[in-house]
Amino acid sequence: MEIPSIYPDKEYHSNLIQPSGCMGRMEDIAAWFSTRQGKKIPDAIKPAVVLFASDHNITSDVDYGESTTTAERTHAALDKNSIIRKLCKQGSASLLIVDLGVREKLADMDDLEQAKIRTGSGNIAQEAAMDQGDYWESTGIGEEIANRMIADGANLLIAGSISANNEVSVAAIISELVGLSPEEVLRSSSNGSPEIYAQELIAVEAALSRTQGTPSHDILRELGGFELAAMAGFYRAAAHQGVPVLLDDLASTAAALAAAAWDVRIAGWMLASHVSSDNAGQRHAIDDLGLEPLMELNKSIGEARVATLLIPVIQSALSLQAGLVSLED
């Protein structure tokens, strides 16, 4: 399937009575959606948020100790009072959480989809994260879910990940595809102690050494995980359908880089919600994708929460444009 072309900028704002630039970034947001929808006044957004949950079997090389497990984080997100639920309600967004490879069995709950491939992807320091079968299954699940959300009326998609141990995979993907050293990426993205950072660094270096010479389009299978592959498939399906996606944290940006490695035109349908001022890896990755983040934070919080937080801001930008008076009126 072909990726739709982005409509040319018709410079609608140049015909407004208000001075050009008076709305700042709000003006840029509205123009961005106009060129993706091909409409002077873009349609109101109907967002859908999907969180892909999975473990990574890296613990033989990295000891995360008593940190919160992926299963616990998934249950927390599914709780009726969770932050992501409140943000989705505020932004009138649907929410779906997909279990692709959580080690523990999750009880059936509202908005949880069971799609477990196996209990965690491979240890990338020693082997490929996924064999071909698992890889295509993961990307296919992401594509199917994106297509389903779009068929249900969504015209803005947000993907996030839930994983207590995907930092090594995320850092390895960004190091490889952007050309940064593992130290540059991990220095600002590792959430562990100095001991954990040192173990993660060794694991990333081993993974990069093992995959030296791997084509960029196969990096995700070698270095990723089920949730990262599903997000990349999710982004690819959205681009093929001509539906924008809003990126979230470093993990979603890594998946976006992997999707763009398949076809660079996919990046044209991506909007970066934010960049963390202390995260060199995320900033370089967003630059590499040719994106400009909507906001800058001191620290990224992940699990699609910042992207979902910005839904009302985007909706306000589109509503403002719809209400402005042009010289033709």
Domain boundaries, the chain: 45-322
What pTM was estimated for this model as a whole? 0.93
Name the architecture of domain 45-322: 3-Layer(aba) Sandwich (3.40)
Tell me how long the chain is: 329
* Radius of gyration for the chain, computed over Cα atoms and rounded to the nearest angstrom: 19
Could you give the CA distance from residue 118 to residue 134 in angstroms, rounded to a whole number?
A: 9
User: What does each of the 329 residues of the chain score in pLDDT, given as a tens digit?
Assistant: 678 877 666 555 555 545 555 566 788 898 899 899 988 888 999 999 999 999 999 977 787 776 689 999 999 999 999 999 999 999 999 999 999 999 999 999 999 999 999 999 999 999 999 999 999 999 999 999 999 999 999 999 999 999 999 999 999 999 999 999 999 898 766 666 788 889 999 999 999 999 999 999 999 999 999 999 999 999 999 999 999 999 999 999 999 999 999 999 999 999 999 998 778 889 999 999 999 999 998 877 899 999 999 999 999 999 887 655 454 54
State how beta strands 47-54 and 274-276 pair.
unpaired
Number of H helices, E strands in the chain: 13, 8
Task: Look at residues 233, 246, 225, 254 and name the one whose alpha carbon lies nearest to residue 141.
Answer: 233
DSSP 8-state code for residue 302? -
Could you give the CA distance from residue 322 to residue 34 in angstroms, rounded to a whole number?
A: 11
Residue with the two structure tokens 């979902």: 308
Phi, psi of 99 (to 5 degrees): -90, 110
Could you give the CA distance from residue 161 to residue 248 in angstroms, rounded to a whole number?
A: 9
